[in-house]
Amino acid sequence: QVDRPEGIQEARLKLPVVGEEQKIMEAIFNNSSIVIWGATGSGKTTQLPQFLFEAGFGHPDSPNPGMIAVTQPRRVAAVSMSKRVGDELGQYSDRVSYQIRFDTNVSSKTAIKFMTDGILLREIANDFSLSKYSVIIIDEAHERSVNTDILIGMASRIVDLRESMCKEDPSVKPLKLVIMSATLRISDFTQNIHLFRHGIPPLIQAEGRQYPVTVHFARRTHRDYVEEAFRKVSRGHRKLPAGAMLVFLTGQNEIKQLSKRLKQVFKPTQRGEDFQGKLRLSAADAPLETEDLELGDPDTGPQGEDDDSDIDIVGLDDEHEDDEDFDLGEESMSSSTRVHVLPLYSQLPTKEQLKVFEPPPEGSRLIVLATNVAETSLTIPGIKYVFDCGRSKEKQYDLTTGVQTFQIGWISKASASQRAGRAGRTGPGHCYRLYSSAIYEADFPDYTEPEILRTPIEGVVLQMKSMGLHNVTNFPFPTPPSRQGLTKAEKLLKNLGALKSDGQVTELGNKLSSYPLSPRYGKMLQIGHQHGCMPYVIAVVSALAVGDLFVQESQSDTMVSTLGNGKDGIYTNSDRLEDTAREKRRKDFYRAQRLLSKHDDTSDALRYLSAICAYAYASASDEESFCEKMFLRAKGLKEASQLRSQLADIVRTNNLGLLGSYESRLPEPTEKQIKALKQIVTAGFIDNVAIRADMSPEPPEMQRKPRGAVDVPYYTLFRSRESRATEVDEKAVYIHPSSILAHLTPKEMPQYIIYSHLQQSTPSHVTGSNVPKIRMFPLVAPS
């Protein structure tokens, strides 16, 4: 018998999912797998684990003693939902725990365990029958992350396995599988006989969103949606009754920009005391998770050259167009109400992210500016108004060429409805879409493409093979990866020596699969013994795997904005002060760069090494200011450091005796070691090699001389464009301006460059002669 806090008990009874409790539990008892569909906010995530708990799952002396696993695609969700369910469970709150990478509060009492899907996948690798669990709940299945998809495929097999195990040995208990989705895009699961060999699972629906959300389309769609968001949110704040706002944008730069403007126009709340939550949080599953990575490209502004001709361009004089949308017939807040503006994006330190769950200061309006991190799973209390820009930044990966792009594009209709749903979680709400219904109907796809079709899958393939699933095409994928993707993955794995030519996994391959990393990094760790390099290899691998550790000069927080000045062509005194600040900042930046490149000024990989090694010398209390001084990302470095000690453990297990005790403060590497390190990095990325075009066997006709390092054309070993282009511009790739090589003169540029990946950041549909450049992220320049 659970004694729930009073308010919670009442609120619970209104949830659609609670109304279906009996039907759901019957289905679970009568079937090994079931699918639950319920709109956002219907109570799936918070209630299902409690139903199971109350039915005895997870109790040591019940017929189902194993724990209840609940997976989430994101870390913040795993932590915050475990806390919420704990609160709801009254006297049993200590039975709910979470586990994310590098952090957990699991104890011997744990009955309900929230975790990221990546964590459960790793657990399968160690215990294929998942013997600790009696039920697996896979949440947010509609998001279709690679991990979720693979997990569903694995879990469907494990359910069968456990069934046959318990026929032989009655002490083994069966495993139940519950798949939960917020959209009806579930036919990939429910109609998939490959996936469920013993009949498709029953589908239970929990109808209805909890509170109604009124959707307001814009009459027109503005190209500059950040500006438009500013305009609408400002008007909304003046006109709308009390209630928190959630604004969806595509990335952290846009969020900072809008935040700054709102704080300029309205009275911001004082800097509140820091969140002193009970949650002890550290870090991160980044390599395994689907989060929006901001590999901010100084080349292109956040809004890019959006040349979509369907978009109307309108003047700013439609001031009154949305007055009726904002007139809700209720009293608006006083326009002097303070605004409590909080950002929410994945690169933000977790501590900062969790601030959105705290009540805003008395008498202020909470305005959360978020990327699609906030699209599903999280309930931010009190959100009544959603402003949706209708776009998101998605990582696309070209399966043939391996070029990745971060494109800002329309979201799917399903996502738009998820976003709108955020407004109806704790009461009736309104969603203001910054796009017209015509564009929505014509241009928004119904659903987002599953991630497995747009991401490299060598890690997945190797993982499966080393688990004994030799024929990857036989794996019950909800959506199978493309043949191109598979071929590319197998080719790379063979190059790395992880697979034999017949596709069987090698002994090396098995070792590589034990690292929670891309096989490329595993390879570097496996060959890292020479010249006592191993501690350095571990350090550089952790830094590279977390990636994006450097703050660009133009991106830093204290960056002096160009917004607000120059608007009227007036150059003020404060502008002059800003110029001086900018000058100083630039000097600091170059000083930091010099320090980090002192071992080798042509290798970005070694810059990563310097960063993580220097970070280890900063004292624990000093880490943040150290990072700020060195233009480093504190969250990334913390995560990289945790990964570093985890990898040291794995290396020690894999290679008995080859690594002494773990020491984070390393002496400077010797010259010999630096040379060896470069070779080791090269071995992991051997296929990612580019040659300076003018030094290649077929040097191109150069129309004009490159003006800087970033204009020097290189050719990659494998073609990097689909088209059979002949123009230099179309065939070549160039270094990314964030590279350490960018300061060289064109002449000094190395003949060969090993790079980690290629990226094209402007939309590929941009018309005209201006073909967007493909940029490589260099690692080392082999000499």
Q: Which H or E element spans position 8? A: helix 6-13
Site residues for Mg ion, window 356-415 (CB under 5 A)?
Answer: 377
- Toward ligand ADP, which CB reaches closer, 38 or 243? 38
**Which listed residue (33, 372, 379, 455) binds ligand ADP by CB under 6 A?**
379
Interface with ligand ADP (CB under 6 A), residue total 17
Query: In the complex with ligand ADP, which residue's Cβ is closer, 355 or 731?
Result: 355
**Rg for the chain (alpha carbons), in Å?**
27
State which of residues 32, 35, 41, 204 lies at the interface with ligand ADP (CB under 6 A).
Answer: 41
In contact, 518 and 685? CB cutoff 8 Å = no
State the DSSP code for 499. Answer: B
124 vs 182, which CB is nearer to Mg ion? Answer: 182
Interface with ligand ADP (CB under 6 A), residue from 190, 210, 463, 688? 210
Binding of residue 84 to ligand ADP (CB under 6 A): yes
**Biggest CA pair distance of the chain:** 83
CB nearer to ligand ADP: give 37 or 217.
37
Question: Rounded to the nearest whole angstrom, what is the least distance from the CB of residue 368 to ligand ADP in the complex?
Answer: 13
**Collapsing DSSP states into helix, strand and coil, what is residue 341?**
strand
Q: Are 67 and 133 in contact (CB under 8 A)?
A: yes
Q: How far apart are CA 55 and CA 295, in angstroms?
A: 46
Other residues' Cβ atoms within 10 Å of the Cβ of residue 702: 11
d(CA 146, CA 452): 5
Q: What's the closest the beta carbon of residue 47 comes to ligand ADP, in angstroms?
A: 6
Which alpha helices (H) appear in 445-530, and where do they start and end?
Answer: 458-466, 483-495, 507-512, 519-526
Closer to ligand ADP by CB, 40 or 463: give it: 40
d(CA 644, CA 271): 34
Question: Considering the rule CB under 6 A, would residue 381 count as an interface residue with ligand ADP?
Answer: yes
Q: How many residues bind Mg ion (CB under 5 A)?
A: 3
Residue among 380 and 710 whose Cβ is closer to ligand ADP: 380
Segment contacting ligand ADP (CB under 6 A): 21-29, 38-46, 215-223, 623-631?
38-46
- Looking at the Cβ atoms of 45 and 415, the one nearer to Mg ion is 45
Question: For residues 207 and 20, what is the distance between their CA atoms, to the nearest angstrom?
Answer: 9
Note the helical H segments in 399-480: 413-421, 437-443, 458-466
> Which CB sits closer to ligand ADP, 5 or 298?
5
- 20: tokens are 């279906």
Judged by CB under 6 A, the residue of 21, 24, 28, 43 near ligand ADP is: 43
Nearer to ligand ADP, 383 or 533 (CB): 383
Quote the CA–CA distance of 717 and 728 in Å, as a whole number. 15
Residue whose entry in the numeric block shows the structure tokens 């046959």: 164
> Which one of 31, 32, 33, 40 is in contact with ligand ADP (CB under 6 A)?
40
Evaluate whether 486 touches 457 at the Cβ level (below 8 Å).
Answer: yes
* Stretch touching ligand ADP by CB under 6 A, among 42-50, 106-114, 533-541, 632-640: 42-50
Nearest distance from residue 427's CB to ligand ADP, in Å?
8
Say which residues have a Cβ less than 8 Å from residue 176's Cβ, sequence separation at least 6: 28, 32, 33, 34, 134, 135, 136, 159
Structure tokens at 449: 């493409």
Does 50 contact ligand ADP by CB under 6 A?
Answer: no
Query: Footprint of Mg ion on residues 24-53 (CB under 5 A)?
Result: 44-45
Near ligand ADP by CB under 6 A: residue from 38, 456, 481, 535: 38
Q: Which stretch binds ligand ADP (CB under 6 A): 39-47, 169-177, 407-415, 449-457?
A: 39-47
Q: Closer CB to ligand ADP, residue 86 or residue 459?
A: 86
Q: Which does 241 bind (CB under 5 to 8 A by kind): ligand ADP, Mg ion, none?
A: none
Q: Which is nearer to ligand ADP, 43 or 450 (CB)?
A: 43
Sole binder of ligand ADP in the list 31, 45, 105, 415 (CB under 6 A)? 45
- The window from 45-53, 286-294, 634-642, 773-781 that contacts ligand ADP (CB under 6 A) reads 45-53
Which run of H or E residues covers position 27?
Answer: helix 21-30
Cα angle for residues 321, 231, 579 (degrees, 5° grid): 150
Strands 752-760 and 403-410: parallel
Task: Pick out residues in 713-732 that bind ligand ADP (CB under 6 A).
Answer: none
Least Cβ distance, residue 36 to ligand ADP (angstroms) = 9
* Lookup: tokens for 50: 């409690």
Q: Does 346 bind ligand ADP (CB under 6 A)?
A: no
The piece of 43-51, 162-170, 326-334, 669-677 that touches ligand ADP (CB under 6 A) is 43-51
State the nearest-atom distance from the C-beta of 688 to Mg ion, in Å: 39
- Of residues 379 and 405, the one with the C-beta less far from ligand ADP: 379
Instruction: Give min distance, CB of 771 to ligand ADP, in A.
Output: 43
Q: Give min distance, CB of 374 to ligand ADP, in A.
A: 12
Task: Tell me the closest approach of the beta carbon of residue 263 to Mg ion, in angstroms.
Answer: 32
Alpha carbon distance 237, 252 (integer Å): 22
**Shortest distance in whole angstroms from residue 19 CB to ligand ADP:** 13
Residue 454 binds ligand ADP (CB under 6 A): no
State the binding partner of 84 from ligand ADP, Mg ion, none, CB within 5 to 8 A by kind.
ligand ADP
Q: Please tell me what DSSP assigns to residue 440.
A: H
243 binds, among Mg ion, ligand ADP, none (CB under 5 to 8 A by kind): none
**Sequence-distant (≥ 6) Cβ neighbours of residue 148 within 8 angstroms:** 71, 73, 117, 138, 140, 141
Task: Give the contact letters, 323-362, x = binds to Mg ion (CB under 5 A), - = no.
Answer: ----------------------------------------
C-alpha closest to that of 477 among 217, 72, 148, 716: 148
Q: Give the integer Cα–Cα distance in Å for 393 and 351.
A: 24
Site for ligand ADP, residues 404 to 433, rule: CB under 6 A: 425-426
| 81 or 632: CB nearest Mg ion | 81
Q: Which DSSP string do the residues of 239-288 spell out, in sequence order?
A: HSPS-EEEEE-SSHHHHHHHHHHHHHHS-BPP-PPPP--S-------GGG
How far does the chain reach from its first CA to its final CA, in angstroms? 70
Give, in order, the Cα–Cα distances in Å from 365 to each of 235, 369, 385, 511. Answer: 13, 13, 11, 53
Closer Cβ to Mg ion, 46 or 407, answer by number: 46
For residue 391, what is the DSSP state? E
Q: In whole angstroms, give the CA distance from residue 403 to residue 721.
A: 8
Q: Which does 41 bind (CB under 5 to 8 A by kind): Mg ion, ligand ADP, none?
A: ligand ADP
Chosen from Mg ion, ligand ADP, none, partner binding at 415 (C-beta under 5 to 8 Å by type): none
Q: Based on CB atoms, which residue is closest to ligand ADP, 418 or 518?
A: 418
3-state secondary structure string across 36-71: EEECCCCCHHHHHHHHHHHCCCCCCCCCCCCEEEEE
Site of interaction with ligand ADP (CB under 6 A): 15, 38, 40-47, 84, 182, 210, 379, 381, 425-426
By the criterion CB under 5 A, which residues form the site for Mg ion? 44-45, 377
